[in-house]
Amino acid sequence: MSSPALSGIKPARLEDWFRYRYFDADIDVSSSGVQNYSVAEILRIAGVPAPDLTTMVMRDSPSVGAHALRAAIADRFAPGHDECVAVTHGSSEAIFLALAVLVRPGDEIITVRPAYHSLSGIAEALGATVHGWDLDSANGFQPDFDQLARLITKRTRVVIVNFPHNPTGTTLDTEAFRRLLDTVDHHGCHLLWDAACGELTYDAPPLPDPHHLIGNCVSFGTLSKAYGLPGLRVGWSLAPPELITEMVRLRDYVTLATSPLNELIATAVLRNADAVVGPRLAQAAHNRQALRTWLAANPGLFSCVLPAGGVSAFPRVGHPVDVDSCCTRLADEHGVLVVPGSCFGHPDRFRLGFGGDTGEFEKGLAELARFFRAEADRQR
């Protein structure tokens, strides 16, 4: 039997959706990240002196990442573990490298579901069998640990999760977090912990990075979601040093390294992380309250669990419509961008991002209510 080929990987439906609509939207309430910073804003907040930029020599960076940036990442998320940090082109590259190193044909993988495409599609293309650990909407999208225990077998290689969860916004309390770590550790699996939205929580402090709490853990981070810097394309993984070595060996064949200019800015950002994240988190919390009010004002149109973390909600449309078609019409005819729930396997829902500009978000809410109310009236 021939080996699986990555050329046969499933299309990333989320990226296909964005590819032809993202840059044309008038009102973008689709994103799973906070409002983006401008270059001027981030250089000022992070305190990057202009001479540091203009005198930089554009040579290659180390393939594992600049030491100063690795130290800044470790100091924030895993103090004293610089050797466990690898800098990548966003967390997407980190996820790809970790799965490519760990997964072999015939392995079984468990991933939380609904899921971001990278968390399942790569493993499938590598020949693994992927089982979904379903977050049930009837249970507020809370994880069922009895189901997780039933899914784990002797062939289970990796358990992949992302909390706070994209797109539902659910997260773990400390008891559930500990139970997850104990379950994975007990069975000797690898835990892949996607913490892209880890610093975006509202009712409780962020969870600690689990990399140094259990042995077989790889965690991922990024400046895209909580930091408002997706265009910088800087992410990282925290992993055992021997796994970092294997990931870098694979990276030698693809991206080699990240830009030293991006790493310079990223280092300053992480050294001033609270000043960068704080204002955007406060804005998202304000928008979350607006979301709560909007849901209460439209009980027949939408049902939705209020997100405990992240900046995306996953409302269900309260009357039978073709949500894909509605999302297309919203984008093409009204300039309002959301993400069809079918991109995450839930065709009766859509992803609604509340991390952006407050005025734009409130306009988006008004347009969504107006549109779906008209759809409901049309069916009467």
CA distance to 158, 276, 292, 354, 355, per residue, from 306 (Å): 29, 25, 7, 11, 14
User: Vertex 349, ends 346 and 350: CA angle to 5°?
Assistant: 110
Contacts of 368 (CB under 8 A, 6+ apart): 29, 330, 336, 338, 352
Q: Which tokens sit at 209?
A: 């990075």
CA dist., res. 311 & res. 35, Å (int)? 10
Does 143 sit behind a cis peptide bond, omega within 30 degrees of 0 on the bond before it? no
**pLDDT at site 4:** 57
| Mean pLDDT, 10 residues at a time, the chain of 380 residues | 67 91 94 97 95 92 97 96 96 97 96 91 94 94 96 98 97 97 96 98 96 94 98 97 97 96 98 98 99 96 97 96 97 97 96 98 98 88
**pLDDT at site 6:** 76
Query: CATH for 6-39+275-378?
Result: 3.90.1150.10
- Global confidence as pTM: 0.94
Answer whether 6-39+275-378 and 58-273 agree in fold: no
Domain boundaries, the chain: 6-39+275-378, 58-273
Domain range 58-273, its CATH number among 3.40.640.10, 3.30.2350.10, 1.10.10.10, 3.40.50.300: 3.40.640.10
3-state secondary structure of 100: helix
